[in-house]
């Protein structure tokens, strides 16, 4: 018997109903036959089925909505290399203790916090292929001086090389979202950063972009006080620029300086 599932706005649900797109997303990954895959928000399993057709070594899914437990159990009965958990992906689940990749149609409401979480988990993540709203995709991939360059750009690009693969029309979902979606590919760049570095980078970028229309020398005053202009000049950063004009390397310089000089960030 076919059961109609109604999307919950509170969970940011928009179900992918286009089978062609569902098959196209996992095909973007490198050979996954030996990979452990994590999927977030599988729902009734549209993308899940397509991932399993690629025969991954193991697929683990996390679904917050308990209504989908039964359809996911049906998938599990037919696939011994699939399992799932009902719960919140933002909680501290130990997904895997070995390297894994992520393929998911992310609920709009949790896309950004999940991406930030995966920055801290990057030592175990090989690649990420996610569908998000296009605005978020641009914020992930844009570089300095681009319109959507943001904190998310800087933090994710610190550990991942990213690109937008293709856009997905509203008609591919039920219910139809009000915005266009995009599929983003993120590859671990192999660079290692301490948790302290990443935490400090979050704080530095928070201050820099909290007043993005202001010059960087003004937006960082709360961090560096009256020495802000002198610090920027010493680091070779133009104090007249705004946050969106600073490169990834500029923010890394500010982060390292904050740690080394023990600024209270």
Structure tokens at 132: 């998000």
* Cβ-based burial of 220 (10 A; exposed 0-12, middle 13-18, buried ≥19): buried
> Which two structure tokens, joined as six digits, stand for 259?
């740690």
Q: Is 88 annotated as a binding residue?
A: yes
- Residue 41 counted as an annotated binding residue: yes
Q: Are 162 and 140 in contact (CB under 8 A)?
A: yes
Q: How far is 149 from 145, CA to CA, in rounded Å?
A: 7
User: Hey, is 236 helix, strand or coil?
Assistant: coil
The answer to the question of whether 232 is labelled as a binding residue is: no
Token digits for 197? 């570095």
- Tell me: is residue 16 an annotated ligand-binding position: yes
**DSSP assignment of 77-138:** HH-TTEEEEES-TTS-----SS-EEEEEE--GGGHHHHHHHHHHTGGGEEEEEEEEEHHHHH
Q: Contact at 8 Å (CB) between 198 and 139? A: no
- Residue ranges at the known binding site: 14, 16, 41, 63, 88, 105
- Residue ranges at the known binding site for S-adenosyl-L-methionine: 14, 16, 41, 63, 88, 105
């Amino acid at each position: 018997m076919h059961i109609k599932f109604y999307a919950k706005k509170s969970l940011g649900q928009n179900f992918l109903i286009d089978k062609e797109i569902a098959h196209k997303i996992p095909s973007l990954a490198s050979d996954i036959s030996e990979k452990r895959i994590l999927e977030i928000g599988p729902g009734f399993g549209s993308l899940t089925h397509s991932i399993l057709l690629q025969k991954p070594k193991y697929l683990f899914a996390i679904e917050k909505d308990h209504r989908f437990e039964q359809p996911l159990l049906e998938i599990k009965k037919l696939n011994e290399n699939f399992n799932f958990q009902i719960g919140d992906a933002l909680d501290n689940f130990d997904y895997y203790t070995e390297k894994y990749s992520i393929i998911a149609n992310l609920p709009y409401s949790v896309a950004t916090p999940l991406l930030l979480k995966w920055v801290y988990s990057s030592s175990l993540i090989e690649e990420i292929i996610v569908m998000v709203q296009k605005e978020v995709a641009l914020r992930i991939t844009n570089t300095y001086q681009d319109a959507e360059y943001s904190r998310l750009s800087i933090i994710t690009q610190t550990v991942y090389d990213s690109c937008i693969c293709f856009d997905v029309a509203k008609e591919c979902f039920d219910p139809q979202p009000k915005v266009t979606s995009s599929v983003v590919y993120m590859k671990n760049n192999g660079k290692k950063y301490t948790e302290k570095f990443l935490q400090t980078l979050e704080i530095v970028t928070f201050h820099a972009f909290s007043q993005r229309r202001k010059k960087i020398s003004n937006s960082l005053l709360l961090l560096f006080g009256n020495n802000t202009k002198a610090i920027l000049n010493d680091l070779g950063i133009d104090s007249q620029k705004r946050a969106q004009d600073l490169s990834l390397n500029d923010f890394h310089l500010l982060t390292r300086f904050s740690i080394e000089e023990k600024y209270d960030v």
